[in-house]
Each structure stands twice: as C-alpha cells, then as structure tokens.
C-alpha cells in the first residue's frame, strides 16, 4: 500500500493557487526516473515494430525506411508454396506440442503438488532443464541423436523436442495456479464419494483452468517461435516458419521475411495484450 503514493497530485493543486510546501508527497517518484522508464519501454517495444513498415515496402532490399509502398511481400507470402508449407508445418507442430505439453505438463504439476517427498524438487528442476539449458546445446545433442534414430526432418521429431522445451512453461503456469488451490476441496469431493479422477475433473481442473490455459498458450508460442533446434533438425522436405525466416535473412535476402515477421509480431502482441487488457478492464469496473 505504501507504493500507492503518486506524484501527479500536487500538480493539480498548483492550479488552484500556491500549494503549501508540505503537501508534496514524502515519497515522490523523481522525474528523471520516469523518463528512464519511458526510454527503456521504448527500447523494449519500438525496435521490433520496424518490421511492419518494412513489410509494406515495394523494394527488393532491406532498405529502411522504404521508398515506395506495396503489398507485394504479403502477396508473395500467401502465394509462395515454400512459405505456406513452412507456415502450415509450424502451425501443425505448434498445435500438437500445445496439446501434448499441456496434458503432460498439467499431470506433472498436479503430481508434484501431491508429492511431499524430497526428490520432488529434484524432479522439478530436471523438468525445468530445457528452460535454462542453452538452445544450441540441445540443438547439437538432439541433432546427433536424431541422426541415429532417423528422425531428422520428421514431424514427430519436432513435436518431441518442442514439447520438452514447452514443458517448463506449462509446469510453471499450472504450479502457480495450484498454489492457490485448497486441497481440502479434493478431500471433500472424495468424502462425498467422487473417484480421484472425477474429483480432479469436476473440482480441481475448473479451478486451475486459467493456469492450464495460459500454459497451453505459452507452449504454442514456444514451439511456433523456436528456431535454434529447428535449424538443426530440419530437412529440405520439412522446415518450420522460423527456419524459413532465418534463411531468408541470412542466405537469400528475401523481403517476404518482413511480411512473415509482421504477421508473427502482431499475433504475439495480440496474444499477450488480450489478457492484460482484460485485466485492466476488470479493474476499471
């Protein structure tokens, strides 16, 4: 509550005459700090947005700002077979990863919440490993293993490793919502005769659903965006959208990547903004 002290207050009183010195809040936020905050926010958000004007460029180079405008790169994205194939591969993988990671991750989070044993923390750390292990190390070892297993460039190869990489996000999201869950409710359900599965389905799941759903969104986005491992385990027959984009930037200099980037940036922003805006709207009520 102590953080609620706001500085705009004295400015309003200034209009109605000279305010006594004492009315200035003891704990005001200095102006320079607000300026730094705005600058950092700009640094965080603005650079990414240059891909949007780029995508409407008429030129065939990465010249910014563009001299002329056109929709040709969107046309190229939606008519070129390689881009469409990459997009559909990515969406298929991401959707499968979302389903599998959400199921397995939710089960694991619930399992960990019911285990008081000491090894449970070790298991949790192990399941969090893909979040902290460098993507390049995972890429190298998985590539070598997939060569042996003949899984390079296979749909299920992508789903397997992307699911492992998405698992920590589901685990964290579901664990967070489980922390507010009262286990007495399960005991109550069971004393009324519900089987454990039924108690989970009818009592626990509805209450932790927000965590499960945000875990699912995170899993989807993680897979859709993953590029390092995908660069290693791709094949000419199967590559995902980020791999196509990476090649368009580094090898082919194909401005269609600007259209693809803009679509992804707008999608991710909407996915993140919607829940935040809903939260703000709920506060206003």
Number of residues that bind other proteins (CB under 8 A): 108
Asked whether the beta carbons of 257 and 245 are under 8 A apart, the reply is yes
Region 231-270 residues binding other proteins, contact defined as CB under 8 A? 232, 242, 245-246, 249-250, 257-258, 260-262, 264-265, 268-269
Q: Does position 143 bind other proteins by CB under 8 A?
A: yes
CA distance 281 to 279: 5
Binding residue (CB under 8 A) for other proteins from 98, 127, 178, 216: 127
Region 67-86 residues binding other proteins, contact defined as CB under 8 A? none
Region 88-117 residues binding other proteins, contact defined as CB under 8 A? 103-105, 107-108, 110-115
Pull the structure tokens for residue 243: 């791999």
Least distance to other proteins, CB of residue 14, Å: 21
| Candidates 16-24, 28-36, 73-81, 201-209; binding stretch for other proteins (CB under 8 A) | 28-36
Least distance to other proteins, CB of residue 67, Å: 12
Q: Which is nearer to other proteins, 26 or 237 (CB)?
A: 26
Binding residue (CB under 8 A) for other proteins from 31, 68, 276, 285: 276
Region 175-234 residues binding other proteins, contact defined as CB under 8 A? 176, 187, 190-191, 196, 211, 214, 218, 221, 224-225, 227-228, 232
Least distance to other proteins, CB of residue 17, Å: 26
In the shown chain, the binding pattern of residues 5 to 24 toward other proteins, with x for contact by CB under 8 A and - for none, equals -x------------------
| Candidates 16-24, 73-81, 172-180, 201-209; binding stretch for other proteins (CB under 8 A) | 172-180
């Amino acid at each position: 509550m102590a953080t609620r002290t706001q500085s705009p207050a004295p400015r309003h009183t200034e209009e109605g005459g000279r305010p006594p010195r004492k009315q200035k809040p003891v704990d005001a936020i200095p102006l320079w700090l607000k300026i730094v905050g705005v600058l950092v926010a700009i640094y965080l958000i603005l650079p990414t947005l240059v891909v949007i004007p780029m995508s409407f460029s008429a030129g065939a180079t990465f010249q910014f700002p563009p001299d002329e405008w056109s929709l040709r790169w969107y046309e190229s994205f939606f008519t070129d077979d390689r881009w469409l194939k990459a997009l559909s591969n990515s969406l298929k993988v991401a959707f499968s990863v979302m389903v599998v990671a959400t199921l397995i991750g939710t089960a694991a989070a619930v399992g960990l919440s019911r285990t008081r044993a000491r090894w449970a923390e070790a298991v949790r750390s192990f399941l969090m490993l893909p979040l902290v292990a460098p993507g390049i190390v995972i890429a190298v070892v998985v590539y070598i293993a997939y060569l042996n297993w003949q899984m390079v460039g296979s749909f299920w190869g992508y789903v397997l490793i992307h699911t492992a990489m998405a698992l920590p996000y589901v685990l964290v999201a579901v664990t967070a919502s489980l922390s507010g869950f009262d286990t007495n409710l399960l005991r109550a359900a069971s004393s009324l005769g519900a089987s454990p599965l039924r108690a989970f389905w009818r009592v626990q799941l509805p209450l932790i659903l927000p965590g499960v759903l945000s875990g699912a969104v995170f899993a989807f986005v993680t897979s859709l965006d993953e590029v390092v491992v995908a660069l290693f385990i791709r094949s000419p027959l199967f590559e995902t959208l980020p791999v196509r984009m990476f090649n368009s930037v580094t090898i082919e200099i194909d401005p269609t990547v600007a259209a693809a980037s803009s679509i992804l940036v707008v999608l991710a922003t909407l996915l993140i903004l919607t829940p935040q805006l809903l939260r703000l709207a709920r506060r206003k009520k």
